[in-house]
Structure 1
């Protein structure tokens, strides 16, 4: 069976009780005050997450153990982290990258000692996931996030043209993996690269190298190992050129990469293409979601799987676009239903 999970900061909230009540007891966490925790929602200009003021280095064993205990006190098991120490110097191949990589190594070793099996990360330098609209009216007036490339590219450049090359970023990734993967193998942690979001070749002059299926095949070939894997974010893969042009499909990619390549899944969907798209309810996008779940069953996937970028429903304020509570509950129920249909009811499983 899958480890149905939710994405929660290490700071208790009212929604945690509801998430437990609908049957989720696994957490994908961020680090208190680390890279993704700091960047969360910055790209869409919304508020929502504020780190606790702690006298701890966010990626240290003490801080991660603190987070693990916080989740456990509320009935959750921490099965993955989706955050690292800052690594932009590593992504861009700049001076100072070795210190940043050493911080990630310390985090990976701590995760191994604490029994946290998966570390999701990304190669999006100087920014996080990008959206240009956080309140598109969808079914019944629910609000979803969306992206328009023309609008986004008119914004402030991330770097001057030509300052960073694709080759530079690939070299930085190869250097990073050579340092991190052997440590991850040693301590039993699986790395899981998230796609660029959106999966476009350039964002405001900065190359994006994890934006095609072929780039993920290349990623896996750089350091062949079960500790070098993919965060299989379906919504991003659905926008990649090989899927849009019909050369492959999401279920086919699940079978291709298999459990050796996929330790962690974002089960989500979109409508549109990489230049213009919007998030959707899980039952209303352009991907055959039941066929995806069937494919996960066929490959024997039993890792962490979570919903992502859900609609904001009636009565919610949209302070956290994509991460309000009611849409999460709908998504959890939808995913659980597909899981039971594909994997069988828990009482029937051997």
Structure 2
């Protein structure tokens, strides 16, 4: 089965973006959930709950809400291949009071996804904040605007005081996996851990633990189930210390790679810029060849694309023209390596 080229969308129809993505030959979607953690952090804060199909309030991660979103995508010709959103998870990540309630919601989501035939859930262990950038106006090739990060410029947001240590986050992660992996296995859903972005050991005073290849080795050793998998975000892995051979890491993790964020960068974790897919530090053809070599047949999506001429940069990393450029480039690589 070939790799499933996908795009990252909120279930809120948007034209001409949705039609252009379909015209580019993409039928698989990696979905946000209306009002869940990542949609609130990244795109649109629309409240904790949404209206269910039966007229009652339903949580965004409930089966009623996910089924509604699935129908919205299906009406536009898309199939939901993965979900990249969850209940707010900071109490789980930090091991705080209330985490069992939130874990129960994740289990509810996994059961719903299994019932609806959605096989991959992407999650992360970044407490308090999501991915971080210090500029959305860095000038890239031909004047395109790209996102970038300089740790020296990251003082605009105050540190958050937390008592938890890195080992506390590891203990909380082991607790979480022990609680949810049995349900994921029964539901036929694979979890894919996204790296810390940027992959630094601490950001805004909060420890982070998923920022090295060894951290991923430790993650996979916590639970040997294939349901305990990796979201292989190439841009983050390229910035990690000890990750000199990114295609080699793809081959090492092998069948535990559940999901691919296919993107490119230039620099270090402390000072980097996101690039067009064809101009960063990674050999993208060799990365695609590595995915083909391990028999990867999950969803793969472009990520964090430049904003191109004439676009407003209202959604840095996710404007339309950069996505179309990336999709065409990735499709060409897939064909070239038989993926």
Q: TM-score, normalised by structure 1?
A: 0.92
Structure 1 position 191 matched with structure 2 position 191? yes
Equivalent position of 2:249 in the other structure: 253
Which one of the candidate residues 31, 55, 73 is aligned to 2:75? 73
After TM superposition, where is structure 1 displaced by more than 2 Å over at least 4 residues in a row? 48-56
Distance (whole Å) between structure 2 residues aligned to residue 182 and residue 298 of structure 1: 29
Please state how far the C-alpha of 1:56 moved relative to its aligned partner: 2.4
Distance (whole Å) between structure 2 residues aligned to residue 56 and residue 154 of structure 1: 37
Q: The residue matched to 1:108 in structure 2 has which SS?
A: helix
Please state how far the C-alpha of 1:182 moved relative to its aligned partner: 0.8
Distance (whole Å) between structure 2 residues aligned to residue 50 and residue 255 of structure 1: 38
Equivalent position of 1:325 in the other structure: 320
Please state how far the C-alpha of 1:154 moved relative to its aligned partner: 5.3
Please state how far the C-alpha of 1:49 moved relative to its aligned partner: 3.1
Please state how far the C-alpha of 1:155 moved relative to its aligned partner: 2.6
Alignment deviations for residues 91-137 of structure 1 (CA, whole Å, 9 cap, x no partner): 00101100000000000000000000000000000110000100111
Which runs of structure 2 are paired with 1:1-350 in the superposition (5 Å)? 1-14=2-15, 15-40=17-42, 48-49=43-44, 51=46, 54=51, 55-153=57-155, 155-160=157-162, 163-243=163-243, 246=244, 249-258=245-254, 260-343=255-338
Distance (whole Å) between structure 1 residues aligned to residue 160 and residue 203 of structure 2: 8
Distance (whole Å) between structure 1 residues aligned to residue 226 and residue 26 of structure 2: 26
Q: The residue matched to 1:230 in structure 2 has which SS?
A: strand
Please state how far the C-alpha of 1:153 moved relative to its aligned partner: 4.2
Distance (whole Å) between structure 1 residues aligned to residue 180 and residue 156 of structure 2: 36
Distance (whole Å) between structure 2 residues aligned to residue 276 and residue 158 of structure 1: 22
Distance (whole Å) between structure 2 residues aligned to residue 61 and residue 19 of structure 1: 26
CA contact (8 A) 1:108 1:189 kept: yes
> Root-mean-square deviation (CA), in Å?
1.1
Alignment deviations for residues 233-273 of structure 1 (CA, whole Å, 9 cap, x no partner): 00000000012xx3xx1110011001x21010000010100
Alignment deviations for residues 178-218 of structure 1 (CA, whole Å, 9 cap, x no partner): 00111100110000000000000001111000010000000
Equivalent position of 1:45 in the other structure: none
Distance (whole Å) between structure 2 residues aligned to residue 311 and residue 113 of structure 1: 37
CA contact (8 A) 1:189 1:227 kept: yes
CA contact (8 A) 1:32 1:58 kept: yes
Alignment deviations for residues 148-181 of structure 1 (CA, whole Å, 9 cap, x no partner): 1122145311225xx1201110000000000011
CA contact (8 A) 1:255 1:299 kept: yes
CA contact (8 A) 1:153 1:203 kept: no
Distance (whole Å) between structure 1 residues aligned to residue 84 and residue 158 of structure 2: 27
CA contact (8 A) 1:83 1:119 kept: yes
Return 5+ residue gaps in structure 2 as ranges. 52-56
Q: TM-score, normalised by structure 2?
A: 0.95
Distance (whole Å) between structure 2 residues aligned to residue 153 and residue 91 of structure 1: 24
Equivalent position of 1:347 in the other structure: none
Report the number of matched residues: 330
Q: The residue matched to 1:263 in structure 2 has which SS?
A: strand
Please state how far the C-alpha of 1:51 moved relative to its aligned partner: 3.8
Q: The residue matched to 1:127 in structure 2 has which SS?
A: coil
